Structure 1
Amino acid sequence: MIDGSAIWAQGMVQALARAGCEVTLVLKAPVRTGRLVDPLRALPGVTVRSPHAEGLFDGSRGMSAKDAARVLDSVDAENPHDLVVVRGRRLAAKLSAGSLAGRLWTYLTDVPQSAAEFDTAAKAELRRIADASRLLLCQTEELRGFLESAVPAAAGKSVLFPPVVVLPDGLEPRPPGSPDGRALRLVYTGKFAPRWNTYEMTSLPRLLSIRGVDAELHMVGDKIHDDPADPAFATRMRTALESGEGVVWHGGHPRAEAMRLTAACDVGLSWRHPDMDASLELSTKVLECGTLGVPVVLNRTPMHERLLGADYPLFAATEDDVLDALTLIGKNPDVFTLAVDRCRSAAADFTLDAAADRLRAYLAQTFPEPSEKVLAVKERRLRIGVASHDLKFFTRLLDYLRSRPDMEIRVDHWSALKAHDEKRSQDLIDWADVIICEWCGPNALWYADRKRPGQRLVVRLHRFELYAAWPKKLNIGAVDEVICVSPHYNDLTREITGWPAEKVVTVPNWVDVDQLDRPKLQGAEHHLGMIGIAPSRKRLDLALDVVEQLRRDDPRFTLFVKSKLPWEYWWIWQKDDERDHYEKLLRRIRRSKLLSGGVVFDSYGRDVASWLRRIGFVLSTSDDESFHLAPAEGMASGAVPALLPWPGAETIYDRRWIHETPSAMAASIAATVSEGRWQAEAELARTQVRNAYSLTDVCNQWTDVLAQ
């Protein structure tokens, strides 16, 4: 069967090969036609495996997900692969518990499309898939955001991989120009089903003729849906295809021929029932039409507006909308040309070359090149141990270190701040060349007292430990380097501890600029954001001063808060002064006419990148911070940072983003928006953070530290 998944497989193989991979395509069914497979066999570096023909699978029955997992294990055992691209939730779920876990690049298409469909079982299965996947390939930004919010394990692993449009050899796009002097040719290819409005389409030529527009409708396909809710649909649909006025039914055709028929027409139809407006998937046929120079009538959705522009002339919700749009372009060549240009321009981002470029970027991140500096330390891979009770600030660095071909990583995870398996920790000392202690706590004290001669010990210090007793007890003579995340905290650390200056170095926090760089939602320039409001030194009260002043002149300004609430931290909520602080704040929000309705509390979670799409300014109003990642993450997302001058802020962020008072911050935000400077300021901020704190650059700095 040549269906959407078969077309996807062909495009994926071609894109991987063009990106520089040696690709093995494992077929799930016997080859009955060579239309898709034969061109792949001819590509250099591509191997096509047919389990049925090779005796790896008994072809007397269909291949189940369990069968496919067994076949893939067998193929991989012959010659282990670096990555395994798999499409479909059932197969990915089977593979998540097997030997391919950790190497999966999973392309999910059968994800529940709404929160109501996302039951506990679906979440659990998708969490297992996310945990076992190196990357999750998402077709659209909408799918990525929805998946990250429903399955926290998907955050940081979800990347965009939209449909790939590959034109058959020899197929030329539609000639430019409007259809002057002949009937307007409409085209639909695909299945015939109620929610695809295919029956309603068959009335368009007759209704357009009433408006003085001569039109004919070309329908390509032979799959007529049997709808239990409408048993008469199939008969009604077939009758309309066979005898509808102005309808030309071509029947079923191979993909190449269907695309040739499309290229011979003027306007494609992808107008669907409103129930489908919330779909998280993008129609490949819309993109194919654009590549062919054929504009498309389709529903107005946020996804389609971002693709084609809010003023695209062929958006339609009702039959009257469709008729209005087709009448307009049938009588106005300029509008027709505009629609063609928009569709062709949008489709340019979905070419095979564009897909290969995306894959090259993901491959470079997943498989970094070995460092001669690292290999010079040992003739074998450098052995690195990581010891910590909490790796939440180290996860992406750990992923990076594990992906390096010149390093071998083991983790000593302490069950609590002071609790660990001493034998496992001692085994790490006996094995490692370098030990990293994430947090300067009991773990650092234990390893400093026991490290081997010649073994390097690196400790990363956070604000939390600097004011505790552990640094004073640390045997600094046994520590090779203490990592601080900002110059200010580097100075403070040396001042408080008296440690030698040469042992205290600055390596900043990382910002995953590629994950955070996502298109903003409409209205973002009026949305302020805060990430984390506990404890009280985060100073939510000062952020309320800012939004209150802004809303006096423009009620569109809204503060979005993404944070655990203070009573979710027992160590905060047990303090009377902390409880009093937040009780006053919540009372103030409820009673203030300006703040009521202007402050939104969003749930805490790892879906920060998706949440930031709605945020235009990220606030940092704290009394003190060691680095404060939130403004930097906001900058990477295309938001403008706004900070109060906490100590050391100017050593991390450009002074243009730092304001002396909440009032000055509010005035700057209002002026940035009213003067139309928000987008330019956001782009400057994005460039600054990419140049200073990108994950790639910070990982390279860590590589230099470890390779000494």
Structure 2
Amino acid sequence: MRPRALVYGDVDLNLIDGSAIWAQGMVQSLARAGCAVTLVLKAPVRTGRLVDPLRALPGVTVRSPHAEGRVEGDRGMPAKQAAVVLTEIDAEDPFDLVVVRGRRLAGKLAAGPLAGRLWTYLTDVPQSAGEFDRAAKGELRRIADASRMLLCQTEELRSFLESAVPATAGKSVLFPPVVVLPDGLTPRGGEPPRGRALRLVYTGKFAPRWNTYEMTGLPRMLALRGVDAELHMVGDKIHDDPKDPGFSTRMRTALESAQGVVWHGGHPRAEAMRLTAECDVGLSWRHPEMDASLELSTKVLECGALGVPVLLNRTPMHERLFGADYPLFVASETDVVDALTLIGKNPDLYALAAERCRAAARDYTLDAAAERLGAYLAQAFPDPSEAVLAAARQAAAHGAGAAPAGATGERKLRVGVAGHDLKFFTRLLDYLRSRPDMEVRVDHWAALKVHDPERSQELVEWADVVVCEWCGPNALWYAKHKRPGQRLLVRLHRFELYARWPQHLDIDAVDQVICVSPHYARLTRETTGWPAHKVTVVPNWVDDRQLDRPKLAGAEHHLGMIGIAPSRKRLDLALDALEELRRDDPRFTLFVKSKLPWEYWWIWQRDEERAHYEQVFRRIRRSPLLAGGVVFDTYGRDVAAWLRRIGFVLSTSDDESFHLAPAEGMASGAIPVLLGWPGADTIYDTRWIHADASAMAASIATTVRDGHWEADRQVAREQVTRAYGLAEVCRQWTELLAGARP
């Protein structure tokens, strides 16, 4: 069954600008990814140049609240009214996902019945730490909590949001601009103009920070350099700027009368792109205060797809896209004239710029966008499993009663999850809730030993299978109170293994005890004497899709540690390795993302722990080799963004049950470097395990020196995705819940 998507952008589709083009691209991408799409318009239709092509798409419905009589007048809906209208439309026949653009609108919807189904596209958010006040953080946290997905235009925006608003971490995914060439439009071949004027082109809105007024002076200034040029400007949205009341009049006058300027007015997108393809250089030169923008101009990518090189500001994002040596980076009006003069007289430079732009645009096609959305849709709406449905039928046959039907019209499998701390189960819980063949309820215990017995009993009477997260008092209670025929799964962590609870657990009442590694499964069997067939292994999950992000420059010289407390994490051994590396190459740096030991009261009150860390930090201050080589970063959920700078993730612990940090590093494209703590070789390939800190340092140095870092990190990523990727672990849990014997 095709997912049904409702799309609304706080944008006027009568005007051509980047936000309007977003709406077109989003609808087309969702339709191609397999959704039935309903687009709701903000404003009444005054021109069909953007809407008509969407109406013609199969599987797409365009609704105008103004034409339907839901909205009076001829002005666009404000956010509050739009939220009411969207809620009413959804109530008629609820949608599976609701894609919205506009922060104010998303804030209104976050408190309503669409919460949980929102796929919020974030652009109009503060883009610097100074702009992020408490109110903005609070609003974005509420939006994040109500959203199934947060769609971010660029990696830079995603990383910034995750560091500023922790609630966005794990939900933020990429949805870059979409470039769709009209049928029959052929890109340029990269040839410079010969025997005619250099044609410059700008399409979009006219606004002060977009330097559109300054652009109108370029033909005149180029003429003074002996370059014959004309500027073609496409668009009809002239911005009224309160800070510059005269801008609108000044801009219109220049469009109508400036030397060498041809103003084409507003046009359908296809015609605007045809006009661009007939020109030689696209203009995206903006005011320097926009250099910090975390958004990427759709017009830049459109020019690239058309084979038209684009002139734009030098920023880290643009350097990553086009290369640091791209010849059309500019910062000032003088730079613009110099670059256009040079490229107008140098065919080779023009061809280089055109090819760079074409290459950059290849990742932003409609097919690429549809494939990206298809992966998100598959994650959000997994297919039902015949094994799960069979388990549900079997449970119903044993008198468990009726339940809401799944996507196939069959009864869903009832899954209960009980525990006091579900932080290690969050993504699994999200996945189980998203399945069309399962219904999930949670018995959240207030503390390790504190719960509501009536609520727990209700779960016993309702569930087909119960998962106890932690083998603690919750597991003991459910083992005692479970119904006949009800299945009970208990997940045991390192914390409980040497506590008293496993000794008191009625193992005959438990179907499976789940450990995260073969080593701890063996220890569990040896310690408890439980039957071998009762103890199985399902590893910790690694969100490999979220962690797969491009590395920042210099990552191959950056080591990372996530968590350095308690002392058995052995930060001192990591410092041993770092000193050896920096003895030959001071570029090596250790980044530590962790709470500091004194932030854990239960650690800092122990004399031996305090002594260990006092010695470690004294060493960092006094060692000449470590000076400037250790960076402590704030503890937080933005691990995926932090890992972009890390090339090697260290694991120097005395012991671990699994140690997720190296696996997360591998998923990010970093190389794991481990000491041989007990059981490490049952989780990680022995190629990543070393005898001591010196061997760790030697391996890192050799990998970088011999140029193997790129190849080795790809091997590491493939290994972790295959063994511990979220999709694989979810598959294993689905089989367990369906009753499969491991």
TM-score of the superposition, structure 2-length normalised? 0.93
Question: Residue 561 of structure 1 aligns to which amino acid in structure 2?
Answer: V
1:207 maps onto 2:221 in alignment: yes
1:13 shift after superposition: 1.2
Is residue 465 from structure 1 mapped to residue 479 from structure 2 by the alignment?
A: no
Q: 1:703 to 1:10 in 2, by over 3 A?
A: same
Matched ranges for 1:77-156 at <5 A: 77-156=91-170
Within a 5 Å distance, the mapping from 1:545-584 to structure 2 comes to 545-584=576-615
Alignment of 1:317-356 (within 5 A): 317-356=331-370
Aligned-pair CA distance for 1:476 = 1.1
Q: Is the 8 A contact 1:385 1:436 kept in 2?
A: yes
1:174 touches 1:265 (CA, 8 Å); kept in 2?
Answer: no
Query: Which range moves more in the overlay, 326-335 or 368-377?
Result: 326-335
Identity %: 81
Deviations 1:461-510 (A, max 9, x none): 11111121111111111111000111111111111111111000011111
SS at match of 1:313: coil
Q: Aligned to 2:298, which of 272, 281, 284? A: 284
The answer on whether the counterparts of 2:66 and 2:74 sit within 8 Å (CA) in structure 1 is no
Q: Contact conserved, 2:418 with 2:443, CA < 8 A, in 1?
A: yes
Name the counterpart of 1:186: 200
1:610 aligns with 2:641: yes
Following the alignment from structure 2 to structure 1, what is the Cα–Cα distance between the partners of residues 273 and 372? 25
Q: 691, 697, 703: which is aligned to 1:666?
A: 697
Partner of 1:414: 445
- Residue type at the aligned position of 1:188: Y
The Cα of 1:322 is off from its aligned counterpart by: 2.4
Q: Indicate yes or no: 2:574 matched with 1:543.
A: yes
> Aligned partners of 1:4 and 1:320: how far apart in 2?
27
Alignment partners' CA distance in 1, 2:289 and 2:580 = 41
What residue is the counterpart of 1:647 in the other structure? 678
Q: Please give the per-residue CA displacement for 1:311-358, whole angstroms capped at 9, x wherever unaligned.
A: 222112223332332233222212211211111121121111111111
**Aligned equivalents of 1:13, 1:239: Cα separation in 2:** 36
CA deviation after TM superposition for structure 1 residue 70, in Å: 1.6
Distance 2:485 2:723 in 1: 33
Aligned residues: 708
Q: Equivalent residue for 2:557?
A: 526
What amino acid is aligned across from residue 668 of structure 1 in structure 2?
A: S
Deviation at 1:163, TM superposition (A): 0.9
Give me the whole-angstrom Cα distance separating, in 2, the residues matched to 1:82 and 1:591.
59
Q: Which range is displaced more, 347-356 or 515-524?
A: 347-356
Deviations 1:96-116 (A, max 9, x none): 111111111111111111111
Over 3 Å counting, the alpha-carbon distance change for 1:219 and 1:33 in structure 2 is: closer
- What does residue 322 of structure 2 align with? 308
Q: Paired residue for 2:421?
A: 390
Asked if 1 retains the 8 angstrom alpha-carbon contact of 2:343 and 2:349, the reply is yes
Q: Note if 1:500 corresponds to 2:531.
A: yes
| Aligned equivalent of 2:405 | none
Which of the numbers 172, 175, 179 marks the counterpart of 1:165? 179
For residues 650 and 255 of structure 1, the distance between their equivalents in structure 2, rounded to whole angstroms, comes to 57
Amino acid at match of 1:64: P
Give the match's secondary structure for 2:104: helix
Q: Distance in 2 between matches of 1:82 and 1:234?
A: 43
Name the residue aligned to 1:177.
191
Shift of 1:66: 2.1
1:64 is the counterpart of 2:82: no
Q: Please give the alpha-carbon distance, in whole angstroms, between the structure 2 residues aligned to 1:287 and 1:486.
A: 46
SS in 1 for 2:300: helix
Amino acid at match of 2:278: A
From 722, 725, 731, the counterpart of 1:694: 725
Determine the C-alpha separation between the residues in 2 that align with 1:265 and 1:107: 32
Q: Determine if contact 2:388/2:413 at 8 Å carries over to the other structure.
A: yes
Give CA-to-partner distance per residue, 1:214-253, whole Å, 9 cap, x none. Answer: 3222233344444454455455544544444433333444
Structure 1 residue aligned with 2:210? 196
d(CA) in 1 for partners of 2:81, 2:215: 42
Contact 2:43 2:74 in 1 (8 A): no
In the TM superposition, residue 391 of structure 1 has moved relative to its aligned partner by 0.7
Secondary structure, aligned partner of 1:123:
helix
Q: Which residue of 628, 638, 648 maps to 1:597?
A: 628
Over 3 Å counting, the alpha-carbon distance change for 1:400 and 1:290 in structure 2 is: same
Asked whether the equivalents of residues 262 and 268 of structure 1 are also in contact (C-alpha less than 8 Å), the reply is: yes
SS of residue in 2 equivalent to 1:415: coil
Partner of 2:505: 474
Tell me if structure 1 keeps the 8 A contact 2:542–2:664.
Answer: yes
Partner secondary structure for residue 99 of structure 2: strand
Uncovered stretches (5+) of structure 1, i.e. residues with no partner:
none
Shift of 1:47: 1.6
Structure 1 residues 652 and 188 mapped into 2: Cα distance closer, same or farther (>3 Å)? same
Provide the rounded CA distance (Å) in 2 between the counterparts of 1:36 and 1:210: 40
Q: What pairs with 1:222-261 in structure 2 (closer than 5 Å)?
A: 222-234=236-248, 236-261=250-275
Relative to structure 1, is the Cα distance of residues 26 and 222 closer, same or farther in structure 2, using a 3 angstrom cutoff?
Answer: closer
- How far the C-alpha of 1:601 sits from its partner, in A, is 0.8
SS at match of 2:422: coil
Q: Which amino acid aligns with 1:685?
A: A
**How far does residue 119 in structure 1 lie from its aligned partner after superposition?**
0.7
Amino acid corresponding to residue 15 of structure 1 in structure 2: S
- Report if aligned partners of 1:615, 1:639 keep a CA contact under 8 Å in 2: yes
Q: Secondary structure at the match of 2:446?
A: coil
RMSD: 1.6
Shift of 1:420: 0.8
Structure-2 separation of matches of 1:230 and 1:12:
34
1:91, distance to aligned residue in structure 2 (A): 1.0
1:55 matches 2:69: yes
What is the distance in 2 between the residues matched to 1:54 and 1:14? Answer: 24
Measure the CA separation in 1 of the matches of 2:192 and 2:609: 69
- Secondary structure of 2:192's counterpart equals coil
Cα distance in 2 between the residues matched to 1:91 and 1:230? 28
CA distance in 2 between counterparts of 1:48 and 1:31 reads 11
> Which residue does 1:588 correspond to in 2?
619
In the alignment, which residue of structure 2 is the partner of 1:517? 548
What corresponds to 2:402 in structure 1?
A: none
Cα distance in 1 for residues equivalent to 2:29 and 2:240: 36
* 3-state SS in 1 of match to 2:144: helix
8 Å Cα contact 2:465/2:487 also seen in 1 = yes
SS at match of 1:653: coil
Per-residue deviation, 1:369: 0.6
Work out the CA distance in 2 between the residues paired with 1:221 and 1:129: 33
Alpha-carbon distance in 2 for matches of 1:645, 1:412: 38
1:704 Cα shift? 0.8
Looking at structure 2, the residues matched to 332 and 615 of structure 1 have their Cα atoms a distance apart, in angstroms, of 40
SS at match of 2:650: strand
Structure 2 match to 1:295: 309
How far apart, in 2, do the equivalents of 1:630 and 1:28 lie? Answer: 46
Check conservation: 1:299, 1:317, Cα contact below 8 A. Answer: yes
Change in Cα spacing, 1:574 to 1:402, as seen in structure 2 (3 Å) is same
Q: Paired residue for 1:455?
A: 486
Compute the displacement of 1:274 (Å): 1.8
User: For 2:536 and 2:339, how far apart are their aligned partners in 1?
Assistant: 64
Shift of the alpha carbon at 1:275?
1.2
- Give the aligned residue type for 1:280: L
Letter aligned with residue 56 of structure 2: A
Q: Which amino acid aligns with 1:485?
A: V
Instruction: Give the secondary structure class of the aligned counterpart of 1:528.
Output: strand
Structure 2 CA distance, aligned partners of 1:249 and 1:73? 41
For 2:131, give the aligned amino acid.
E
